[in-house]
Amino acid sequence: MSATPAKEKRTGRTLVEELAAIVGEDGVVSRPTELKVYECDGWTVEKSAPELLVLPRNTKQVSGVLKALHRRAIPFVARGAGTGLSGGALPIGAPVMVCTSRMNRILAIDLANRRIEVQSGVVNLNVTSAVRSRGFFYAPDPSSQAACTIGGNIAENSGGPHTLKYGVTTNHVLGLELVLPDGEVVELGGAAEERCGYDLVGAVVGSEGTVGIVTRATLRLLREPESRRTILAAFPDVDSATRTVSAIIASGVIPGAIELMDRLIIRAVEEAFHVGLPADAGAVLIVEFDGYAAGLDERASAAVEIARRYGATDSRLARSEAERALLWKARKRAFGAVGRLAPNYATHDGVVPRTHLPQILREISAISERYGLAIGNVFHAGDGNIHPIILYDERHPEQVRRAIDAGRDILRACLAMGGSLTGEHGIGAEKMGEMPLMFSPDDLLAMAALRRVFDPGERANPNKIIPRPGACVEVAAPHRQVPV
């Protein structure tokens, strides 16, 4: 389908006035020029601006807003910082967007119990910043952590490099305050480890904004490890690097993180940040061990030895915290650096069993050739979570199409190897069409039933995750507009 049909507005003046009465005049945005910013998140292939944006400051306001929408049966989409990479915050049939960015208060720090309570609009990195001087940290650390919000992390069940050892968001959320789509506020879980009854917190985390809006969360804090050793190892090709990954983990220790960057990414990062990555390497691994200082040297030298055995041409240890920070800066900003190589890029998020990394990377290379598009790889190698970055130019509609198809082929290859469509970015709008490849109709039926427990009217972030039977193409196509 080439054009989006003219939409009939579902948000009239009375609604704008009613919402303004709840959140204040400055909390409602209705001017199309201002709404343009909200037409997509980090998944830029599809765009669709909301009719209205609401910026509540607290739970009561969120509840008031959702009640007003409930009375009119108007669907809505929640948005944190809009850094999501699967179109989770893309409005598809949701005229109203509720943005949590003003709900950015840390409510309570309880170090005796290693808990922190935050509003959902708090930026991920600010959680760790609030407790670092006391020797604690919040483990999930997505690359966008300087911008992304805890609410967004909860919606997507976000990960990050250090989740290899410490787990993803769901392992660190103990309690939630959730505003249901009808405006009712419910408390789920709490500060204790065990829950009463069904694990609804576990059901909400990763539900991609389709069960309501999380307004507050109780998170688990961890003790900062006493010390770290960060190794940069260079390899002639990705094959030897990925084999090293499996061998290090098979040696019986889970490192804090193992990240891989291939030639294309190394080049982009080097040009952008000059961190001294070996420009002639086919791939580099960043391997980090953390724990007691006492045992780390032994662990690091064992890993260096494994890397050498699998073909590393060079391995070096970060000599200072500054050097370590530079390596991680390079890794976390790799996506930004790629922006220098092409006008646009699409990041994917498939998962394969770790031992299949060599095969999937060969497959990605073949797909890159087949579609004539450069694809870079920078990813969480330790848990088999790949992030192929497909470079394209959105001014050429045909390239956009090839980029979409190449991405699909990669995900299908992941599934064929026993993997998953997504390790941490979510299904969103992007991969909804692929869900039936991974799950049976009965699986999807059970998932849809779970969603309706919270949202019987399916008004929270509609048209996401689960394609309607036989209608996935119709759902996705009108919004898959090709920007010009």
Partner 1 sequence: MTPTEATRTRPEREELGQQIQRLLGAGRAREPIAPEAAACEVVVEPESIDEIRELVRKCETDRLTVAPLGSARTLSEIRTSRVAFGVSLARMRRVIAYEPGDMTIVAEAGVTLGELNRLCFEHRQRLPVDPREPDRTTVGAMVGASHAGPTRLSEGTVRDLLIGVGFIGHGGRLARGGGRVVKNVAGYDLMKVMTGSFGTLGIVVEAAFKVRPIPENYSLAVRRFRRDTEAFEAAATLNEALAMVHLEVLSPGPSAALGYDYDWVVMAGFAGNRAELDYQRAKIVEVLGSEADMLEGACAESSFASLRDMDFPADGLVAQIAVKPAELARCARECSGEYRAHAGSGVAQVWFEEIGEGTAEQTVTRWREMARRAGGSLRVLRAPETMRAEIEFFDRPSDGAFSLMKRLKQTFDPANIFNPGCFVGGL
**Which of positions 391-450 make contact with partner 1 (CB under 8 A)?**
418-427, 431, 435, 438-440, 442-447, 449-450
Q: Which helix (H) or strand (E) holds 143?
A: none
Binding mask 358-397 for partner 1 (x = CB under 8 A): ----------------------x--xxx------------
* Vertex 347 angle, CA 417 and 77, to 5°: 105
Q: Is 280 a binder of partner 1 (CB under 8 A)?
A: no
Q: Which helix (H) or strand (E) holds 164?
A: helix 163-166
**Least distance to partner 1, CB of residue 480, Å:** 20
Residue selected from 58, 313, 355, 481 as contacting partner 1 according to rule CB under 8 A: 355
Q: Which helix (H) or strand (E) holds 92?
A: none
Q: Which residues contact 359 (CB under 8 A, 6 or more apart)?
A: 352, 417
- For the record, the structure tokens of 31 come out as 């001017």
Interactions with partner 1, residue window 84-113 (CB under 8 A)? 110, 112-113
Residue selected from 149, 157, 377, 461 as contacting partner 1 according to rule CB under 8 A: 157
Place of tokens 């940290």: 137
**Least distance to partner 1, CB of residue 253, Å:** 6
123 and 100 Cβ atoms separated by less than 8 Å: no
Q: Is 171 a binder of partner 1 (CB under 8 A)?
A: yes
**Least distance to partner 1, CB of residue 359, Å:** 13
Of residues 337 and 421, the one with the C-beta less far from partner 1: 421
Amino acid at 150: I
Interactions with partner 1, residue window 211-270 (CB under 8 A)? 223, 246, 249-250, 252-254
* SS3 state of residue 389: strand
Binding mask 447-476 for partner 1 (x = CB under 8 A): x-xxxxxx----------xx----------
Q: Is 190 a binder of partner 1 (CB under 8 A)?
A: yes
The pairs formed by 315-320 with CB atoms below 8 angstroms and a separation of 24 or more are 315/231, 315/232, 315/233, 315/234, 316/231, 316/232, 316/233, 317/229, 317/230, 317/231, 318/229, 318/230, 318/231, 318/232
Name beta bridge partners: 189: 175
E strands, 322-433, in order: 344-347, 375-380, 388-392
Binding mask 292-331 for partner 1 (x = CB under 8 A): xxxx-xxx--------------------------------
**Least distance to partner 1, CB of residue 372, Å:** 29
**Least distance to partner 1, CB of residue 454, Å:** 7
Of residues 8 and 194, the one with the C-beta less far from partner 1: 194
Alpha carbon distances (Å) from 301 to 23, 85, 164, 261, 288: 57, 36, 20, 21, 12
Of residues 50 and 225, the one with the C-beta less far from partner 1: 225
Q: How many residues bind partner 1 (CB under 8 A)?
A: 89
**Least distance to partner 1, CB of residue 199, Å:** 5
* SS3 state of residue 350: coil
Of residues 156 and 259, the one with the C-beta less far from partner 1: 156
Stretch that binds partner 1, among 7-15, 67-75, 291-299, 392-400 (CB under 8 A): 291-299
